[in-house]
Amino acid sequence: MFDNLRTFIDKIKPNFVKGGKMGWLQSTFEAFETFAFTPNTVTTRGSHVRDAVDMKRAMITVVIALVPALLFGMWNIGYQTSLHAESWPFELGTAASWWYCLWFGFLRMLPLIVVSYIVGLGIEFMFAQIRHHEVNEGYLVTGLIIPMIVPVTTPLWQLALAVAFAVVIGKEVFGGSGMNFLNPALVARAFLFFSYPTHMSGDSVWIAADLWGTDAIAGATPMGQLAAGMNPSASALDMFIGTIPGSTCETSVIAILLGAIVLLVSGIGSWRVMLSVVLGGGLMGLLFNAIGANAYMQLPFYYHFLMGGFAFGAVFMATDPVTSAQTNTGKWIYGFLIGAFAVLLRVLNPAYPEGMMLSILLMNSFAPLIDHCVVARNIKMRERRALRKEVQQ
């Protein structure tokens, strides 16, 4: 079967090279060819690390890491709806069967994912074609993450607009994947958050009322309850497993940890960033525990890891190799500040119930500065060491 595909691709290839009948579609053709087969060209200049893991394989690994969270998220959409909906085929307050929940969630998620990929990849292909670049693979991951971090009731046209904004303003104006300094998926979410706040926060956006349409039922998230000055109604265990209302695929810490294992074992996600985010958030939580001025401050520090997008952000967003700090010391500082700022925003600013998105975006923009300082300090240290040696001689 692969032989046939290869012969077919080789047969139509001459049409797509420069000067061929459809030469203007070269980037598009190239993208699909390398999607199926590893390219047979090699770098001819300079030293080069050769590795079977190219960008496409790396991105697919991240997609695999996202699958547990995605599946759990789908199930949870159905489960939450069955618990709260009145027009559900089952008795109100009881959960529907496992398969039905998953099926319901799948049908709700599918349009979001399809819209995200069509709009995002469409723009990516267009830009690559105009600039005669290769189509970059980064959007395979971004396009899946965006539907996973928005409320399930987000209107599709708003999602499409946010995706277009994120890809064009968050990425392409800087020169495409690898040149962007902000995480595009978070740019999309921030765009939605500031443009259409009624669809992105509050109690009544997290649970879908029915299969189609954008109607929603009220179901408060733990973060929303805390911002309103109440204690969360869900237990820590519920939050750990993820059976709470929230953004589509962010709720389950277990599913996200499974993804984290995949990322860590394959070496694609940085353990330094993940660990330091947790450390930063934990220490900030402990600091607030020590102050203890209100109910939110007295909240046990580990609750911060379980609620909202903290875990998802730490594992999948903060570790984005393009927008995080590049130096090892820098990664520690970058991750620590993300965790600390996220908890700080949550507790002290009731206007933004979830601080993770804003704190990652903030640190994204500071990452180059952190790297610069780390490198400059290293240069200075080595200079001093060299001088000391000279003096001793």
Partner 1 sequence: MPWSKNNPVTVQVLGICSCLAVTAQLKPAVVMAISVTVVVALSNLIISLMRKTITPRIRIIVQLVVVSMLVVLVDQVLKAYVYDVSKQLSVFVGLIITNCIVMGRLEAFAMSNPPLPSLCDGIGNGLGYSIILIILGFVRELLGSGTLWGYPVMESLGVYNLGYENNGLMIMPPMALILVGIIIWIQRTRNKDLQEN
C-alpha 105/C-alpha 131 separation (Å) is 39
When asked if residue 169 is in the footprint of partner 1 (CB under 8 A), the reply is: yes
When asked if residue 158 is in the footprint of partner 1 (CB under 8 A), the reply is: yes
Q: Residues 18, 38, 51, 194: which binds partner 1 (CB under 8 A)?
A: 194
Distance in Å, CB of 85 to partner 1, minimum: 21
Query: Residue 196 or 303: which CB sits closer to partner 1?
Result: 196
Query: Residue 191 or 334: which CB sits closer to partner 1?
Result: 191
For residue 323, the tally of other CB atoms under 10 A from its CB is: 23
Distance in Å, CB of 108 to partner 1, minimum: 17
DSSP H or E segment with residue 216: strand 216-217
Q: Judge whether 333 and 369 are in contact, CB under 8 Å.
A: no
Size, binding site for partner 1 by CB under 8 A: 11
Query: Residue 195 or 233: which CB sits closer to partner 1?
Result: 195
When asked if residue 196 is in the footprint of partner 1 (CB under 8 A), the reply is: yes
Q: Residues 157, 290, 391, 393: which binds partner 1 (CB under 8 A)?
A: 157
Which range in 83-91, 132-140, 195-203, 351-359 contacts partner 1 by CB under 8 A? 195-203
- SS3 call for 208: strand
375 to 326, 366, 378: CA distances (angstroms) = 10, 14, 5
Query: Residue 71 or 169: which CB sits closer to partner 1?
Result: 169
222 to 66, 85, 228, 332: CA distances (angstroms) = 23, 19, 10, 29
Q: Judge whether 35 and 55 are in contact, CB under 8 Å.
A: no
When asked if residue 160 is in the footprint of partner 1 (CB under 8 A), the reply is: no
For residue 88, the tally of other CB atoms under 10 A from its CB is: 19
Q: Residues 36, 114, 118, 173: which binds partner 1 (CB under 8 A)?
A: 173
Distance in Å, CB of 43 to partner 1, minimum: 26
The two tokens of residue 15 are 């049409």
When asked if residue 93 is in the footprint of partner 1 (CB under 8 A), the reply is: no
Q: 336-351: string of b/e by CB count within 10 Å (b at 16+)?
A: bbbbbbbbbbbbeeee
When asked if residue 104 is in the footprint of partner 1 (CB under 8 A), the reply is: no
When asked if residue 2 is in the footprint of partner 1 (CB under 8 A), the reply is: no
DSSP 8-state class, residue 207:
E
The two tokens of residue 120 are 């995002």
| Angle in degrees, 0-180, between the axes of helices 184-195 and 156-170, rounded to the nearest 10 | 130
Distance in Å, CB of 194 to partner 1, minimum: 4
Query: Residue 191 or 288: which CB sits closer to partner 1?
Result: 191
**Contact positions toward partner 1, by CB under 8 A?**
155, 157-158, 169, 173, 191, 194-197, 214
